Structure 1
Amino acid sequence: MSAEDLENYETDMELQLYREYRDVVHLFNYVVETERRFYLANQVDVTPRSSDGEVYFDVTLQDAWVWDVYRTARFVRQVRVITFKDVNVEELAKTDDLTVEKATGMDGA
């Protein structure tokens, strides 16, 4: 396999992952970003902890989807992450059905 073939494969995998994300994002309430991964989840608990003067975060996610191109099973029931960097948690805005219908042209008109 050439370097170009490998690059094309990785690009294709990332595109497939983005498409999966786009298809499932509406199923989740939160976007969570850690130093190593990006998650979608329905419940998030972030607990700051300290040990020997070092602060870290204990993050527990319920009903999660993991952004990882090399992972075959991206849906997980529970995830626990320990991270020494900041954790970003964003609540996703929910759109009502009428907005979705109008945006997709599926309003029956």
Structure 2
Amino acid sequence: MSAEDLEDYEAELELQLYREYRDVVGLFTYVVETERRFYLANSVDLKAHHDSGDVYFELTLRDAWVWDTYRTARFVKQVHVLSFKDVNIEEIAKSDLEPPSSLPR
């Protein structure tokens, strides 16, 4: 397999993943971003831990979808994540997902 073939394959995987994300984002309440992964979830529990001057975050997600190109089963019942960097959690505004009822002229 050539380098170009590999790039084409990875680009196709990313496109398929984006399409799946676009199709499922409306099923979830939260977008969660850690230093390693991107998740959609319906329940998020975040706990900050302070240990000897260091801070880390313990994150539990329920009813989740994982943005991971190489993962075959992206829907997960529960995810437990430890993060040593910031965690970004945003609530998805359902109105942002709906197309406008009429287009401006």
Q: Once superposed, what is the RMSD of the aligned Cα atoms?
A: 1.6
1:4 aligns with 2:22: no
**Which string of whole-angstrom CA distances, capped at 9 and with x for unpartnered residues, describes residues 37-82 of structure 1?**
0000001011000222210000000100000001000000000000
Note the 1:59-70 alignment, pairs <5 A: 59-70=59-70
Q: Runs ≥4 in structure 1, deviation > 2 angstroms? A: 99-103
Aligned partner of residue 102 in structure 1, secondary structure? coil
The TM-score normalised by the length of structure 2 is: 0.91
Note the 1:3-82 alignment, pairs <5 A: 3-82=3-82
**Which string of whole-angstrom CA distances, capped at 9 and with x for unpartnered residues, describes residues 19-50 of structure 1?**
00000000000000000000000010110002
Give the number of equivalent residue pairs: 101
Structure 1, unaligned stretches of length 5 or more? 104-109
Cα distance in 1, alignment partners of residues 50 and 92 from structure 2? 29
**Which string of whole-angstrom CA distances, capped at 9 and with x for unpartnered residues, describes residues 69-109 of structure 1?**
0100000000000000000000000139xx54836xxxxxx
Percentage of matched positions with identical amino acids: 69
The TM-score normalised by the length of structure 1 is: 0.87
Aligned partner of residue 82 in structure 1, secondary structure? strand
